[in-house]
Homo-oligomer: A and B are copies of this chain.
Amino acid sequence: MTQNIYDDGGFFENYSQLPRSLRGLDGAPEWPALRALLPPLQGARVLDLGCGFGWLCRWAVEQGAASVLGVDVSERMLERARGETSSPAVRYERADLESFAPAAGEFDLVYSSLAFHYLVDLAGVLTRAGAALKPGGMLVCSVEHPIMTAPRHQGWASDASGLPTWPVGGYLDEGPRVTDWLAQGVVKQHRMLGSYLNLLIAAGLELRHVEEWGPSPEQVAAEPDWAKERERPPFLLLAARRSR
Contacts and interface: CB of A to CB of B under 8 A. Distances in A.
A173 interface: yes
A233 B172 contact: yes
B232 A168 contact: yes
Task: State the number of copies, please.
Answer: 2
Contact of A165 (B168, B192, B207): B168
Interface residues of A, number: 39
Contacts of A153: 159-161
A138 to B, nearest CB: 14
A106 interface: no
A88 to B, nearest CB: 38
A167 to B, nearest CB: 4
Contacts of A93: none
Contact of A171 (B147, B167, B170, B198): B147
A122 to B, nearest CB: 15
Interface of A: 147, 150-153, 157, 159-161, 163-173, 192-194, 197-198, 201, 206-212, 214, 230-233, 236
> Top 5 nearest A-B pairs by Cβ distance?
A165-B167, A194-B210, A165-B169, A172-B230, A169-B231
Given A167-B159, A169-B159, A231-B169, A209 B198 contact: yes
A210 B231 contact: no
Contact of A212 (B164, B193, B206): B193
B214 A171 contact: yes
Given A159-B152, A194-B211, A147 B164 contact: no
B165 A232 contact: no
Contacts of A157: 157, 167
A52 to B, nearest CB: 25
A231 B163 contact: no
A163 B159 contact: no
20 contacts: A150-B232, A151-B159, A153-B159, A153-B160, A159-B167, A165-B167, A165-B169, A167-B167, A168-B168, A168-B231, A172-B231, A173-B230, A192-B212, A192-B233, A193-B193, A193-B212, A198-B211, A201-B207, A201-B208, A207-B207
